[in-house]
Amino acid sequence: MTDQTVIPARNYPHYPAIMTPEQLQAMREYARRDPDGFWLQQAARIHWCSRPSIGFSGSFEKDVSISWFADGTLNASVCCIDRHLTDRGDQVALISQREAQGRSESLTYKDLHERVCRLANALTHLGVEKGHRVAICLPMVSEAVVSMLACARIGAVHVVLFGGFSAEGIAERLVDSGAVAVITANMAWRGNKPVPYKQSMDEALRIAGGNSGVHSVLVVRTSEEAVPMLPGRDYDFHDFVDNFEVDFVPVVMRAEEPLFMLYTSGSTGKPKAVVHATGGYMVWAAYTMGMVYTHQPGDVLWCTADVAWITGHTSVVYGPLANGGTTMISDSLPTYPQPGRWFELIDANKVTMLFTAPTAVRAMMAEGDAVVNRHKLDSLRLLGVAGEPISPDAWLWYHDVVGKKRCPVVDTWWQTETAGIVLGPIPGVQSLKPGSATMPLPGVEMVITDPQGKVEQGAAEGALCIARSWPGQARTIWGDHARFCQTYFAMAPGLYFTGDGAKRDEDGYYWITGRMDDVINIAGHRLGTAEVEDALGEDHRIVECAAVGVDHPVKGQALVVFAILRKDAATGLDEAGISRLVVKLIGRYAAPEAVYLVPDLPRTRSGKIVRRLLRKIASGDTNELGDLSALSDQSIVPMLRERVWGQM
Ligand code: WTA
């Protein structure tokens, strides 16, 4: 197998390991022997109104039903705020570095309580009730965290939408989720580029029209920029919210009642919202962040993920706050206004744990060691990554140059659907192998199967599946349980299929080999190629198109689109026009790296597009195009080569 570097756990003598290797082993064995007993024990990590006595109920078979801690009741905002008020009410809970306004803000647990209660009262005043959906589309500002927790306090289901989605993308999600209220910003800055949040939201609400149930829009003023406000619908966030009472009695939720839903991409066109249940999710957030990040009071964890992704939910908000630490957010970029900006922020805020995406590590690496070495970085004790594969080279650079070989690097593998870390090391306890996300956490029964779904033993390579439910597992796809069953449970009956491929080595370490479906990962953002194809397919000027992912040195992967235009239409649509269309229909993050107009696409005799070939050609892989005998027309290959390589 791979030529592996192994860094023994003893290389971090100063790292406060939370257990011994023997205790970790005993924990795994207990979880295997008595899963319910194990998870009920872990459930004590969070505050319950009434403690559960039931572990898992349900099954991965047929109609798939998943339930955890069914008789427990709780409120997630109490787990994250109220339970800390007595012991550490004056400790900073949230640091917000608002780059755009050159302002830093620190909220203690008491401050957070006050702000969350005011907003919970304000939302209630606007008619938001338990079970209603509230869309949150905000940059990384403290109001984003406050908004999520205020929804949780009311029992409303938050739906955080990415600011990079186009108005069309937002409209589709507002309608699908049935949101009744929206919390957004007037605008934001990404580096020196303005991002018009309110304008996109207005446009989205116009597109959604009568199909949207949104009656109120709260607008956080993140800059002096004035935006049009619709009387009776739009409210200035602080002018409105700050008048409300500073106390709000949290709504008691049954464990299985939903806490939030979050849109993600899959291999079919329509974006889907996965639904997470309050009790299981909170236990999972506290457990995973407690085990891998060992995040505790006194730690400042900076997870650079956008709050609109699952990492932004679990590693920015719910995990760190449930464990009583300090979480930091920032709208900064690693290289703006100057390279090394993130290192300045680490020193200034005494960040103890940095958690980012491999794409950011690669971007920092490209700036060179000298930029890093200008900073002390001596507050750091742990470094982490998630979201996409990290090469051993980038891992070692992060470890040696940023972490000065003092800080363990935790490469954690997880998904929107898993809610938190599934594969990841216990730092200071397990040896690290750069490029491997280590092993499943205790209680996770990870398996590798062959293409027929047969479980492989020992060292193996195949489809990455999970054989037993875990508390943080998504319960369903909003409004489409059949799609949930089909997407995750059809590949291997009785197993949850992650969509990823992986190898397991002789030591039981897992190495992710990438997605096995048509999902690509651009700078840590998941995008279904079918999403792009469906969106473009609606434009009558385009006969057909195929979207594929190719490797990219910084973003990990990039999107390439091949399109056939209608011959008769004097369309005026060119490559740049198609690029603009993707940005308009999906969002800026999906902007293609390249677009090729072609007279035809490679197909099998039954008419299926051969994406494998397109990927190879688009990657400039000149040597090995593989077996072409299945193509209905082989003359297409030189034409495609000419089109793509002629331009390279
Ligand atoms: C990929 C992000 C390799 C994987 C937390 C997964 C990874 C998808 C890793 C989920 C990792 C995540 N190594 N690949 N450490 N972590 N992935 O839902 O393909 O945005 O299925 O959740 O990202 O992306 P999502």
Cα–Cα nearest to 131, from 478, 416, 481? 478
pLDDT at 190: 86
Rg (alpha carbons) of the chain, rounded to whole number? 24
User: Taking a C-beta distance cutoff of 8 angstroms, is the pair 288, 252 a contact?
Assistant: no
Query: What was the ipTM of the complex prediction?
Result: 0.99
Range with the poorest average pLDDT among 155-159, 415-419, 541-545: 541-545
For the CA of 521, the closest atom of ligand 1 is: 23
For the segment 216-235, the average pLDDT, to the nearest whole number, is 95
Tell me the torsion sign for CA atoms 435, 439, 445, 447.
Answer: positive
Contact 639, 599 (CB under 8 A): yes
Nearest residue to 449 (alpha-carbon basis) of 507, 496, 514, 508: 496
pLDDT band at residue 1, thresholds of 50, 70 and 90? Answer: very low
- Show Cβ contacts of residue 146 under 8 Å, excluding neighbours closer than 6 positions: 112, 115, 116, 119
The alpha-helical segments, DSSP class H, found in 350-414 are 358-367, 369-373, 392-397
Q: Are 468 and 445 in contact (CB under 8 A)?
A: yes
Residue owning the nearest CA to atom 12 of ligand 1: 387
Position 356 confidence tier, pLDDT thresholds 50, 70, 90: very high
Tell me, using a 6 A CB cutoff, whether residue 352 lines ligand 1: no
In order, the DSSP letters of 529-564 are: HHHHHHHHHTSTTEEEEEEEEEEETTTEEEEEEEEE
Is 269 a residue whose pLDDT tops 80?
Answer: no
Residue 412 to residues 35, 103, 403, 444: CA-CA distances in angstroms?
A: 22, 31, 17, 14
Kindly report, residue by residue over 442-476, the tens digit of the pLDDT.
999 999 999 899 999 999 999 999 999 999 999 99
209: left (phi > 0), else alpha (psi -120 to 50), else beta?
left
Beta-carbon-side half-sphere exposure of residue 55 (alpha carbons within 13 Å): 15
pTM for the predicted model, two decimal places: 0.94
Q: Three-state DSSP class for 483?
A: helix
Of 500, 70, 529, 479, whose CA–CA distance to 269 is shortest?
Answer: 529
Query: Does a cis peptide bond (omega within 30 degrees of 0) precede residue 440?
Result: no
Gap from CA of 104 to ligand 1 centroid (Å): 31
Residue 647, pLDDT score: 56
What span, in angstroms and rounded, lies between the C-alpha atoms of 427 and 382? Answer: 8
Is residue 570 predicted with pLDDT exceeding 90? no
Testing ligand 1's pocket by substitution, the residue of 313, 512, 518, 520 carrying the most ligand atoms inside 8 A of its CB is 512
C-alpha to C-alpha distance for 270 and 264, rounded to whole angstroms: 10
Residue 614 pLDDT grade (very low, low, confident, very high; cuts 50, 70, 90): very high
386 lines ligand 1 (CB under 6 A): yes
Tell me, using a 6 A CB cutoff, whether residue 464 lines ligand 1.
no
Confidence of residue 648 (pLDDT cuts 50, 70, 90): low
Ligand 1 atom with minimal separation from the 514 CA: 19
DSSP-derived secondary structure for 114-177: HHHHHHHHHHHHTT--TT-EEEEE--SSHHHHHHHHHHHHHT-EEEE--TTB-HHHHHHHHHHH
Of 289-298, 522-531, 622-631, the range with the lowest mean pLDDT is: 622-631
Q: Which atom of ligand 1 is nearest to the CA of 515?
A: 19
521 close to ligand 1 (CB < 6 Angstrom): yes
Q: Is the predicted pLDDT of residue 622 greater than 80, yes or no?
A: no
User: Is 80 exceeded by the pLDDT of residue 16?
Assistant: yes
Task: Round to whole Å and give the CA distance between 408 and 380.
Answer: 10
Q: Whose CA is nearest to atom 15 of ligand 1?
A: 413
Question: What percent of the chain shows pLDDT beyond 70?
Answer: 98
Are the C-beta atoms of 631 and 604 separated by less than 8 Å? yes
Which has the higher per-residue pLDDT, 605 or 72? 72
> Which residue in 528, 470, 465, 474 sits closest to 501, CA to CA?
465
Is the pLDDT assigned to residue 389 strictly greater than 70? yes
Q: Is the CB of 310 under 6 A from ligand 1?
A: yes
